[in-house]
């Protein structure tokens, strides 16, 4: 029996099927059967929730990123962060949890059932703006916006086939889907 893919999960507390109300957020248009939305909450602790929904009729495996086989540390993530200034100009934003890893690196794969929503929860203080000194919560209070994209190019999937971690990339989602801009009320 051939191995279709290697499954490696970040953490049940960080990545899980969601009970989040789909109608309470603004969704992107679907791209190849996946749409994305984001939500921010300051209480009880600042947190950015990235919601991925399968709008298609078949289960979709998605390579969410990569992590070290031994340490479990994320070495890259296919979620990209895009900041915008109060007047709408692009500015840098990043996930401070992502760092380089030595040794064997494995894909992090999630499977999203048709109609299901999976969410990734990111501590708000780990999303940084402006030279990596301002956290997401402070940036939102100052009128900045945030968008998140899921980016899984075919080239990435092909590299995993070459490393024999994935055997049939036709089963996997690929593309780029970008969330609507999230700003605090009063700063839209």
* Residue 133 reports pLDDT greater than 80: yes
pLDDT digits (tens, 9 = 90+) for 138-186: 999 999 999 999 999 988 888 877 776 667 778 899 999 999 999 987 6
Of the listed ranges 9-13, 33-37, 40-44, 78-82, the one predicted with least confidence? 9-13
Domain 15-164 in CATH 2.60.40: yes
Neighbours of 149 (CB within 10 A): 18
pLDDT digits (tens, 9 = 90+) for 114-131: 999 999 999 999 899 977
Which of the pair, 162 or 78, is modelled with greater confidence? 78
Of the listed ranges 12-16, 60-64, 104-108, the one predicted with least confidence? 12-16
* Residue 23 reports pLDDT greater than 60: no
Indicate yes or no: pTM above 0.85.
Answer: no
Domain ranges of the chain: 15-164
Identify the pLDDT of residue 97: 79
- Among residues 150, 179, 144, 11, the alpha carbon closest in space to that of 77 is found at 150
- What's the CA gap between 152 and 63, in Å, rounded? 7
Which whole number is the average pLDDT over 25-29? Answer: 95
Which of the pair, 16 or 59, is modelled with greater confidence? 59
Cβ(155)–Cβ(79) below 8 Å: no
| Residues whose CB falls within 8 Å of the CB of residue 72, separated by 6 or more in sequence, listed in order | none
- Among residues 95, 93, 66, 96, the alpha carbon closest in space to that of 82 is found at 93
């Amino acid at each position: 029996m051939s191995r279709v893919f290697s499954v490696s999960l970040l953490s049940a507390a960080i990545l899980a099927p969601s009970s989040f109300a789909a109608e309470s957020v603004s969704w992107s248009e679907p791209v190849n059967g996946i749409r994305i939305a984001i939500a921010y909450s300051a209480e009880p602790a600042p947190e950015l929730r990235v919601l991925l929904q399968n709008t298609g009729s078949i289960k979709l495996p998605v390579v969410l990123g990569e992590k070290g086989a031994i340490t479990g540390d994320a070495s890259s993530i296919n979620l990209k962060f895009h900041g915008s200034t109060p007047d709408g100009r692009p500015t840098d934003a990043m996930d401070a949890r992502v760092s380089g890893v030595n040794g064997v690196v494995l894909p992090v794969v999630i499977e999203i059932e048709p109609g299901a929503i999976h969410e990734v929860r990111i501590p708000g203080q780990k999303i940084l703006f402006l030279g990596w000194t301002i956290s997401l919560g402070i940036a939102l209070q100052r009128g900045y916006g945030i968008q998140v994209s899921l980016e899984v190019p075919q080239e990435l999937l092909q590299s995993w086939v070459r490393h024999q971690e994935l055997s049939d990339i036709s089963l996997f989602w690929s593309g780029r889907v970008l969330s609507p801009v999230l700003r605090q009320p009063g700063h839209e």
